[in-house]
Amino acid sequence: MAHKKGVGSSKNGRDSHSKRLGVKLFGGESAIAGNIIIRQRGTKHHPGKNVGLGKDYTIFALVDGTVKFRPGRNSRSYVDIIPAGPSAVETAPIAEAPVAAEATPAPVVEAPAATAEA
């Protein structure tokens, strides 16, 4: 007869830390360039204008402005930043290349003709 009670292993006691996913800045809130707008797994929300997408699908602001959510094709959700004033990053106008002056050929100076002297 056993004098010790049989002890089984517990099947409980495991849990992962929460990943703190979700929307961090909602529509209408102001964002500073670099602010995280959404932390997500996969592209539940897609990046729109003035917004970047990190390698872990984090959506972040590229410029200062206001967050805006909009529906897109195939029931996709897009996140945009509406720039706050003229200080926002805009594409610079393309400068025209300077036109080089037309090249004129250099004057050719002929050597004096050789005279036959004997």
Lowest mean pLDDT among 36-45, 77-86, 100-109: 100-109
Give the model confidence (pLDDT) of 51-72 as tens digits: 999 999 999 999 999 999 999 9
What mean pLDDT is predicted for residues 98-112? 79
Q: Which residues contact 72 (CB under 8 A, 6 or more apart)?
A: 46, 78
For residue 48, pLDDT over 90 is answered with yes
> Residue 7 — pLDDT band, cuts 50, 70, 90?
confident
Residue 84 CB burial class (10 angstroms; 0-12, 13-18, ≥19) = middle
Q: What is the pLDDT of residue 102?
A: 79
Domains assigned to the chain? 22-83 (2.40.50.100)
Predicted TM-score (pTM) above 0.85:
no
What mean pLDDT is predicted for residues 5-15? 79
